[in-house]
Amino acid sequence: MPMKIVLLNHSMRCGGAERVTANLANNWAERGCDVTVATFVSSDADFYKLDSRVARVDLALAGASSGVLGGMLANVRRLAAVRRLFKDRRPDVVIGVMTAPSVLGILGGIGLRLKVIATEHNHPPMLRMNAVWETLRRLTFRHADAVVALTAETGAWLAHHCRCRNVSIIPNPVALPMEVMEPRLAPAETISADTRLLLAVGRLAPQKGFDLLIQAFEKIHERGPGWKLVILGEGDARGTLQSAIAERGLDDLVLMPGRAGNIGEWYGRADLYVMSSRFEGLPMTLMEAMGSGCAAVSFDCDVGPRDIIRDGVDGVLVSPAGDVGALADALLKLMVDHRERERMASMANGVAAKFAPSRILSLWEQLFLSMGLSGADHARPPQRAACETDSRAAEHSCDKATLR
């Protein structure tokens, strides 16, 4: 019998964890698993396409709640819906995508014949939740059958602060070439063919540090003529960022055309990629850009970019994170040195092999097998990955074998 998997996420809107959910679901469905993706946000908001063999369940129980009591009641309803879902689908394994879905998956699976895997896609010390969810994570994650972190640092934090015993380090897969979705935004409609493109991609939010990037670009644009900075994405900080651009007189040089469903075309057009995040988990956009052959400059956050960029080989790590002057200097150096930029770009596409779906799926398969899941062989990719350790070894060393 094929293994039955439920992926429980908040939504399938545009975002890194949501893209990973789609990639995993589609790959497992292709390999014969019975896969369900369930979300609390309506499927009307879905951005990523799912394989026709993936069941899509819309719990439609998202939304802000008024007051403490309202929040408690809303989460009781969510928990009841999750438990009904599990009883109906009867999965072998439930994978909670990020903190809240993981907590609800653990609680919803109590007393049922299923396994629950909790996951973290950010580094918890850098992205604090409210006290209730922080406490629930600390109390429930230790009862998950397994916990998956993207980096060794996050795995160590979970093992220490949540007393998680079965922590595995499994990075996100990067599927290339990237699927084209709507809305499509042709690069030629935004910048001319002879313009050098400095590209940044992400949610318009303080975490992504685009305010710092705008400040850095202001310092260097006159010394790097012919370049424009394009920031792709949407978010609540759009107004603030547009004001910052206007105040600096950069309206013609820093462009924010919105969200692009043809992001792969933009990576192919970019001359240099930049990540200015204050903190990250394991950033998908950086992996995708480098996998597409872009040299990259990134702040050296506590976790994430250093697991992807080989400093001085295929990109540049800027320390300390948040230092606008250091970011400006690193960008300018590559903007004016075509040969160095091209040399790094020629090395960057090695990221695609490092995070290839077949390689990452083999780590998931090892975890499934270690949990005694029936039908785990259906999750096996066509070719075995180079990292052929058992899942216990993966807890401590697969981050090095896979990422370094």
* pLDDT for res 189: 96
- Whole-number pLDDT of residue 65: 59
**What pLDDT score does 382 carry?**
53
Q: Is the pLDDT of residue 192 over 80?
A: yes
Under 8 Å CB-to-CB from 52, ≥6 apart: which residues?
none
pLDDT of the residue at 64: 56
Residue-level pLDDT at 213: 99
CA 396-175-106 angle, 5° bins: 50
Could you tell me what percent of the chain has a pLDDT over 90?
Answer: 85
Mean pLDDT of 270-295: 97
Going by pLDDT thresholds of 50, 70 and 90, the confidence category of residue 67 is low
Tell me what pLDDT residue 392 has.
Answer: 35
User: pLDDT at position 27, please?
Assistant: 96
Lowest-pLDDT range of 2-11, 245-254, 352-361, 387-396: 387-396
Euclidean distance between CA atoms 309 and 317, whole angstroms: 7
Longest dimension (CA), the chain: 64
Per-residue pLDDT band for 127 (boundaries 50, 70, 90) equals confident
Q: What is the mean pLDDT of the chain?
A: 92
Choices 3.40.50.40, 3.40.50.2000, 3.30.930.10, 3.40.50.300: CATH for 4-173+356-403:
3.40.50.2000
pTM: 0.88
261: exposed, middle or buried (C-beta count within 10 Å: 0-12, 13-18, 19+)? middle
Yes or no: domain 187-352 corresponds to CATH 3.40.50.2000: yes
Q: What is the pLDDT of residue 223?
A: 96
Same fold, 4-173+356-403 and 187-352: yes
DSSP string, 64-103: --SHHHHHHHHHHHHHHHHHHHHHHH--SEEEE-SHHHHH
pLDDT at res. 393: 34
| Domain boundary assignment for the chain | 4-173+356-403, 187-352
| DSSP-derived secondary structure for 152-187 | HHHHHHHHHHS--SSEEE-PPP--SSPPP-SSP--G
